[in-house]
Amino acid sequence: MAYRKGQSGGLSPATRITQEIIARLEAGTKPWIKPWRGVPVSRPLRACGIPYRGMNVFWLWMVADMCGYASPFWMTYNQAQSLGAQVRKGEKSTIAIFYKSYTKEVEAPDTGEKTDEARRVLKAYPVFNADQVEGLPERFHPAATLELVEPEGREAELDAFFAAIPVNLRHQGCEAYYEPTADRVTMPPVSLFGGFDHYYATLAHELSHWTGHASRLGRDLKNRFGTSAYAAEELVALSGQSAPCLTLH
């Protein structure tokens, strides 16, 4: 549960993937402490339905987990448009990778003989998950296989409290986070929580980050994980996490 910055660009595919993996390890993400269930993860698929292979499988799985995407489909901007759909405003692309083969003439240091040597270079292109695209055919959003169970503990007062907050809120995937750039809070669907007490506490935490936007309280939300500013922001959100319950009970 945190706030999320936009993905950085300008890096080589190998460097970008390596940095993201290291960041996940340093963050020490512990899925067993989340107060909600995860969503099933399918093998990443191209827009045409062909499964990705190699490093793309691991990489797109990781991106889907970080961003809470439930759809297994990934596509380019042009592919989305060719399907009569449109990438949602403010959405950020990730990368899919491929190897480009070429030959280079090399000279043997001992004999001076010239030969053609086959080489491969890692390339990348931008893709979006189907959950980031509006207007796609229904087949790009497979039905969830989890049993949807309404958790216990719903309270009308807390529903009214949160409904009165003018936040851009969406329920998607299995991650809870606030995005300062998009000024948006993402929450897992209520049905993934074991009880409404956990749902309300998680929502209050993310809304505490939401209050720090430049148009509201103007806190520093551009800091990086591991800095004192990041830690201070998390303490602000933790202190606000139980505020609604304390106010109403």
Q: What is the pLDDT along the chain (249 residues), one digit of tens a residue?
A: 454 544 445 678 888 888 877 776 665 554 435 666 655 567 899 999 999 998 899 899 888 877 778 899 999 999 999 999 999 998 999 999 998 888 888 888 888 788 888 888 889 999 999 999 999 999 998 765 555 567 889 999 999 999 999 999 998 777 788 888 889 999 988 888 889 999 999 999 999 999 999 999 888 887 655 567 767 787 777 766 555 544 444
pLDDT at 248: 43
Residue 77 CA to residue 51 CA, distance in Å, equals 19
In sequence order, the β-bridge partners of residue 126 are 95
Q: What angle do CA 239, 242, 244 make, to 5 degrees?
A: 120
Residue 87, φ and ψ in degrees, nearest 5: -65, 130
The pLDDT, as a whole number, for residue 247 is 45
Domain at 145-249, CATH class: mainly alpha
CA atoms of 66 and 194, how far apart (whole Å) = 21
Cβ count within 10 A of residue 103: 10
CA distance 122 to 101: 9
Rounded Cα–Cα distance for residues 166 and 177 (Å): 17
With beta carbons less than 8 A apart as the criterion, state whether 211 and 171 touch.
Answer: no
Taking alpha carbons only, the member of 29, 31, 51 closest to residue 42 is: 51
The candidate with the shortest Cα–Cα distance to 102, out of 119, 122, 123, 114, is 119
User: Which tokens hold the place of 13?
Assistant: 């595919």
pTM of the model: 0.55
Enumerate the domain spans of the chain. 145-249
